[in-house]
């Protein structure tokens, strides 16, 4: 195997990440992907163009605060409208 071959590069990449991979083998609750986080922010990214112009910088901060609260409520199983 040549040191500059694709296979050698792949092995070196694996060995550099092996300590982090052991965390997933030791902890059954750890996930290898971030699908949960991506599903959580999907509604925000879909409406991004709608929120480009919220009126002012303060309006943008208020919008971000409200959206964070709504997503936190959803994650905790609380109805945000209540």
The per-residue pLDDT for range 64-82, each reduced to its tens digit, is 888 888 888 988 999 988 8
Taking residue 73's Cβ as centre, other Cβ atoms within 10 Å add up to 14
**Predicted TM-score (pTM) of this structure:** 0.42
5, two tokens = 């071959």
Closest by CA to 73, choosing from 40, 39, 38, 49, is 40
Closest by CA to 66, choosing from 45, 44, 34, is 44
Does the structure show a pLDDT above 90 at 9?
yes
For residue 11, the 8-state DSSP code is: H
E strands, the chain, in order: none
Alpha carbon 76 to chain centroid, angstroms? 17
Number of residues in the chain: 82
């Amino acid at each position: 195997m040549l040191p500059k071959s694709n296979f050698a590069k792949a092995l070196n990449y694996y060995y550099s990440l092996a300590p982090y991979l052991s965390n997933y083998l030791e902890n059954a609750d750890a996930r290898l992907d971030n699908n949960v986080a991506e599903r959580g922010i999907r509604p925000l990214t879909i409406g991004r163009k709608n929120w480009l112009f919220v009126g002012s910088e303060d309006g943008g901060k208020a919008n971000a605060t409200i959206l964070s609260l709504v997503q936190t409520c959803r994650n905790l199983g609380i109805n945000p409208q209540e």
